[in-house]
Amino acid sequence: MNDSIRFILNGEDIALADVGPTETLLDFLRLKRRLTGTKEGCAEGDCGACTVLVGRLADGKLTYESVNACIRFIGSLHATHVVTVEHLAGRDGALHPVQQALVDCHGSQCGFCTPGFVMSLYGLWLTKENPGRREIEKALQGNLCRCTGYEPIVKAAEQVSL
**Minimal CB distance residue for ligand FES:** 70
- Of 14, 16, 23, 45, which one interacts with ligand FES (CB under 6 A)? 45
- Contact between 73 and ligand FES per CB under 6 A: no
Contact string (CB under 6 A) for ligand FES, positions 133-162, x = contact = ------------------------------
Q: Identify residue 144 by its one-letter amino acid code.
A: L
- Of 29, 52, 70, 74, which one interacts with ligand FES (CB under 6 A)? 70
Q: CB-wise, 68 or 84, nearer to ligand FES?
A: 68
Kindly give, in sequence order, each residue whose CB lies less than 8 Å from that of residue 54, ignoring residues fewer than 6 positions away.
64, 65, 67, 72, 77, 80, 81, 82, 83
What is the spatial distance between Cα 53 and Cα 8, in angstroms, rounded to a whole number?
A: 12
- Of 46, 65, 137, 151, which one interacts with ligand FES (CB under 6 A)? 46
- Contact between 41 and ligand FES per CB under 6 A: yes
- Contact between 115 and ligand FES per CB under 6 A: no
Contact status, residue 95 vs residue 51, Cβ threshold 8 Å: no
- Contact between 95 and ligand FES per CB under 6 A: no
Kindly give, in sequence order, each residue whose CB lies less than 8 Å from that of residue 114, ignoring residues fewer than 6 positions away.
102, 107, 108
What is the spatial distance between Cα 78 and Cα 87, in angstroms, rounded to a whole number?
A: 20
Q: CB-wise, 68 or 80, nearer to ligand FES?
A: 68
Give the bridge partners for 56, in sequence order. Answer: 63, 80
- Of 40, 86, 135, 158, which one interacts with ligand FES (CB under 6 A)? 40
| Residue (of 9, 72, 87, 84) closest to 39 by Cα position | 84
Contact residues: ligand FES, CB under 6 A: 40-43, 45-50, 68, 70
